[in-house]
Amino acid sequence: MMRQNFAVWVMVSVFWSQACWAQQAAAPAGPDDFKPASSNQPGRQYPQVNSEGRVRARIVAPDAQSVLLDIGGVRYPMTKGDDGAWVGDSAPQDEGFHYYQLNIDGAQVPDPGSLFFYGAGRWGSGVECPARDQDFYALKNVPHGQIRQNLYYSKVNDSIRRCFVYTPPDYDKDTTTRYPVLYLQHGGGEDETGWPNQGKTNLIMDNLIAEGKARPFIIVMDNGTWTTASPPRRGERGRGTWPPEGWADNFKKTLLEDIIPMIDANYRTLADQPHRAMAGLSMGGMQTRVITLASPGTFSHVGIFSGGSISPDDVNKAPGFKEKIKLVFVSYGSRELENRRTGFGGDPKANADALKEAGINSHFYVSPLTAHEWQSWRRGLHEFAPLLFRD
C-alpha cells in the first residue's frame, strides 16, 4: 500500500504544474509594465513578467503553425507577428519560481530565452515572478558561503554519485571550527540541483547568517530519486527506476551508509545526532518523514515541506523519537491546504498541535498565497533554518 500511495503522490508532485495538458485559456490584457525576468539567460529580453505576475513569452518560429505558452497547467495561445515572432501572455501566476515550456506544433520545447532548470524529470525553462518578500533570498553585499559540487563513490549503488554542499561564509577562514549538518532533499521529478538553483539555498542562508538569525551550518543536497534496490553490476544500463523500488529504504541506505560517512570524512562536521538534521520538500519530505521516524538516533531535527506530517501515532510507533528529536517542523502553501492536498498522515496542522501537546517541539508554518511550488519551499527553509541547532 505504501508503494502504491507513493506512486500516486509522485505523479501528483511531478505533474502538479502540468496536470491539465489539454486546457487552453486566453489571458486578458493586464498592465503593460513587463520587464525581463531575473531567470533569463544573460542579455535575453524574454520571457518578461509584469506587476500582476503575468508571463509574456516570445519565440521566433516563422514556419510554425501553432505556438502555445505552457505554464501552471494551462496553455495560452501565442500570436504570430509580421517578423515571424510569436508572442503570448499568461494569466497572473503566484509569486516565485515556475517551470514552463513552449508548445510548437505539438512539440514541447524549452524557451531559449530562459536559464534551464531540472524539474518534471527533464531540463527545461523556468521563470521568476517577483515576490513581495524576495528580499530574504536576494543577492546582497554580505559574506557569502559556497556551493561545492561533490563527486563520490556509492558502495550501495556501485556508482559515482553527485551532491552539492553548502558551506557557510567563514568555513575556509577558521579551519578549527566544526559545523552541524542539514541533509536537504528535493521533490519528485527533480534532482540535487533543485535546492541550489530553484531553491536559492545559499542566498537564504547567507542572509540569515549575516542578520544573526541562524547558526552557520553545512547543507548537503543529494539526489533522492536515483537509487537502486541492489548494487547494479558494472556495465548494466541505467541509474535506477522511476518510481524507484523501495523508494524510502533505498535512499535511507544510501544516506546512512554512503552520504553521511562521506560528508563526515571530508568536511568539518559535528558528527553526532544532536548536530544532524534532515528535511525535504514533497517527495523529499516523505523520505524525511520515513527515514527520521526510523532513525531518531541519527537525526535530531526534522523538516517536512509539503510532504505529509508526523502524527502522535507515528511517534508512538517509533521508539526513541519523542525522547531524542529536538524539533519537528512542517510547512505548506496556503493553496495546498485550501485544496485539501495534505498528503499522508492526516491533517498536518492538527498533527503539529497534537505533537506540541505531547511535549514535542513542533512548529507549523503556512506560506501565504502559494501552492505546491518553490516559493512555498523557499519560505519553509527560511522559517526552518533559524530553529536549527539551538544550544
- Whether 345 is covered by a domain: the verdict is yes
Residue 234 and residue 178 in one domain: yes
Greatest extent of the chain over all pairs of C-alpha atoms, in Å: 70
Helix 2-15, helix 283-294: angle, nearest 10: 150
Q: How many CA atoms lie within 13 A of 65 on its CB side?
A: 3
Alpha carbon separation from 107 to 68, 75, 110 (Å, rounded): 10, 13, 10
Beta bridge mates, 79: 87
- For 86, the domain range is 14-130
Residue 173 and residue 322 in one domain: yes
- Whether 9 is covered by a domain: the verdict is no
Residue 100 and residue 146 in one domain: no
pLDDT along the chain (391 residues), means of 10: 42 40 61 96 98 97 98 95 97 97 97 96 96 98 98 96 98 96 97 98 98 98 71 38 58 96 98 98 96 97 97 96 98 90 74 97 98 97 98 76
What CATH number does residue 381 fall under? Answer: 3.40.50.1820
Please check whether residue 150 is in contact with residue 223, taking contact to mean a CB–CB distance below 8 angstroms: no
Please, which residues have CB within 8 angstroms of residue 184's CB and are 6 or more apart in sequence? 195, 201, 219, 220, 221, 278, 279, 280, 284, 381
> 3-class SS at 18?
helix
Alpha carbon separation from 182 to 119, 132, 151, 279, 357 (Å, rounded): 22, 27, 18, 7, 26
Please, which residues have CB within 8 angstroms of residue 388's CB and are 6 or more apart in sequence? 180, 182, 214, 215, 217, 277, 301, 327
Neighbours of 52 (CB within 10 A): 15
Pick from 345, 244, 256, 246: nearest CA to 294: 256
Beta bridge mates, 123: 118
In angstroms, the CA 198 to CA 127 distance is: 10
Number of structural domains in the chain = 2
What CATH number does residue 98 fall under? Answer: 2.60.40.10
In angstroms, the CA 27 to CA 357 distance is: 48
Residue 50 and residue 196 in one domain: no
In angstroms, the CA 32 to CA 177 distance is: 52
- Whether 1 is covered by a domain: the verdict is no
Final residue of a structural domain among 73, 98, 130: 130
Cβ density class 306-337: b for 16+ within 10 Å, e for less: bbbbbbbebbeebeebeebbbbbbbbbbebbb
Pairing between β-strand 79-80 and β-strand 116-119 as defined by DSSP bridges: unpaired
Pairing between β-strand 55-60 and β-strand 85-89 as defined by DSSP bridges: antiparallel
- Torsion on CA atoms 350, 354, 356, 359, rounded to nearest 10: -170
Please, which residues have CB within 8 angstroms of residue 344's CB and are 6 or more apart in sequence? 5, 9, 286, 289, 308, 309
Residue 149 and residue 197 in one domain: yes
Residue 142 and residue 114 in one domain: no
Place of cell 563520490: 152
Residue 142 and residue 216 in one domain: yes
Residue 112 and residue 154 in one domain: no
The H-or-E segment that residue 38 falls in is: none
Alpha helices in 114-159 (DSSP H): none
- Whether 4 is covered by a domain: the verdict is no
Residue 146 and residue 86 in one domain: no
Residue 308 and residue 227 in one domain: yes
- In sequence order, what DSSP letters do the residues of 223-292 get, joined into one string? -SS---SSPPPTT-S-S--SSPTTHHHHHHHHIIIIIHHHHHHHS-B--SGGGEEEEEETHHHHHHHHHH
